[in-house]
Amino acid sequence: MTDVLLKIDGISKEFSTVPVLKHIDLEVMRGEVLGIVGENGAGKSTLMKIVSGIYTPTAGRLVFEGQPVEIREPLDAMQVGISLIPQEFNLVNDLAVYENVFLGRELRLRSGLLDKKRMMERTRTLLEELEVDIKPDERIERLSTAQKQMVEISKAVAMDAKLLIMDEPTTVLTQYEIDILYRLMRRLKSQGVTIIYISHKLKEVKAICDRVMVLRDGEVICLEPTGALSEVEIAQRMVGRELSQVFPPKGEPGEERVLEVRNLTVPGVLEDINLDIKRGEILGLAGLVGAGRTEVAEAIMGVRPHTTGEILLNGKKLDIRSPQDAVESGINYLSEDRQGSGILTGFSVTNNITLVSLRRYCRHFFNLIKSSDEKAAAESHRDRFNIKTQSLDTRLEFLSGGNQQKVSLAKSIDPDPVVLLADEPTRGVDVSAKQEIYRFIKSLSDKGLSCLFISSEQEEIVGMCHRVIVMKEGRIMGSLSGDEINEAEIMFLATGVRESNGSPAPVN
């Protein structure tokens, strides 16, 4: 238990000159389970991707079993005995379970042909150990998300790795499957396997890990035996940062409820979501990745099938079956996935801005577009949002991320919505663009817009919102208002340390 398996020696990583990891030193002991926790963007996944060869570090080196190792690609990591179970699945949908488990290191017969029988048998044994009922020859695409996760785990175990890295393995698992996973982890540990366990869920970290490391903004904040810290202490160390003065002063929301969501449920995704937003109010929707925040917005917009529940706008019940219905009622969505569902990179700035509201710029006759009106509208948005572009006819692919995001925001408010569902409105933009976006949203809310503000950055939730709802695993864990809104409180609810604001936990 005392010898060092992996030594991380002064590892730094920059993405286009933005430092993500700052000189990380860490010694991982043979046979321990080490928990790594931190907020979104703290650098946990980046660090593990470096260890497993997906990224190469900007500076620093890795020492494995006393030998300096160069891990330039995932294959190198596999060869020294490091195996990563990634956050996103890395399975080939069209292949069978056993083919995936042995992908890239297939067993062969002496003739050179694949030894399917032996691979199937080995896979069957692995799956039995995991106590999951999956046939080795089932195709991946027919499996549930949880089953896929179990296949991913057996794939990593099949490599007989010395170091197993698990990046948020339980996000999609039920308690039953989590218990099985814990038993497997304990068995592997007794066999001398070392495990690095990344999680947002502090209860899990407390339950399974020997030591815990807290990362914040790419730096190691603390590294202690798990027993030495309470969940609350861990949460405080994860957050602990001062609010900088980037946020405009909060406005005074009106009294009348504009949007009311009642018992919104999407089976297996969202359960019984209730919320309301007043006129001119900014309601924060916080939670960890995978908590179901984007799904709330998508369900309101009518793109989630099998949605049940009621949505009321100014007291009137709406029947929303598609984004068209939502937009016509006055509800617009700013997508978190800018390139995937927000903007068209091949369209010009003008054509993006007016895409949702195009009806306004058309004559009755044959729906001919009045291009001068369109251009005037785009110009006013460009000035108002300070969009930097060579011309309004420039295609969006030539604009920077921050300017693309401003176009995306202009596009979603050009129809003059009553309610804006802003999902990660500042994702991937620099600090000055962030500040500008905060001011736009604030000025819109001053004019009466009701805004659902979805964000993974607790800092901006605290800085922007009048009230905050915190979600975890598709459910609302509690709501905060006024002075209760701070990062620690949000983290308590998001990680499940505290179930609701009705039962305060002791805070030191």
Which residues make Cβ contacts (< 8 Å) with residue 56, sequence separation at least 6? 50, 71, 72
Question: To the nearest 10°, the Cα dihedral for 259, 263, 266, 268?
Answer: 140
List interacting residues with other proteins (CB under 8 A).
301, 303, 322-324, 326-328, 333, 335, 340-347, 351, 355-356, 358-359, 362, 366-369, 371, 390, 394, 398, 411
Phi-psi group of 275: left, alpha or beta (phi > 0 → left; psi -120 to 50 → alpha; rest → beta): beta
Q: How far is the CB of 394 from other proteins (least distance, A)?
A: 7
CA distances from 53 to 39, 48, 108, 210 (A): 23, 9, 26, 25
Reference 56, options 46, 64, 66; nearest CA is 46
Q: Which is nearer to other proteins, 245 or 390 (CB)?
A: 390
Tokens matching residue 459: 């800092």
Give, as one character, the DSSP assignment of residue 348: B
Q: How far is the CB of 323 from other proteins (least distance, A)?
A: 5
Three-state SS for 396? helix
Which amino acid is present at 420? L
Q: Which is nearer to other proteins, 194 or 351 (CB)?
A: 351
Q: Which is nearer to other proteins, 326 or 491 (CB)?
A: 326
Q: How far is the CB of 344 from other proteins (least distance, A)?
A: 5
d(CA 195, CA 36): 11
Q: Which is nearer to other proteins, 23 or 395 (CB)?
A: 395
Q: How far is the CB of 322 from other proteins (least distance, A)?
A: 7
Q: Which is nearer to other proteins, 211 or 406 (CB)?
A: 406
d(CA 84, CA 159): 11
Q: Which is nearer to other proteins, 327 or 480 (CB)?
A: 327
Q: What is the SS3 assignment for 163-228? A: EEEEECCCCCCCHHHHHHHHHHHHHHHHCCCEEEEECCCHHHHHHHCCEEEEEECCEEEEEEEHHH
Q: Which is nearer to other proteins, 218 or 323 (CB)?
A: 323
Q: How far is the CB of 395 from other proteins (least distance, A)?
A: 8
Q: How far is the CB of 355 from other proteins (least distance, A)?
A: 5
Q: How far is the CB of 390 from other proteins (least distance, A)?
A: 5
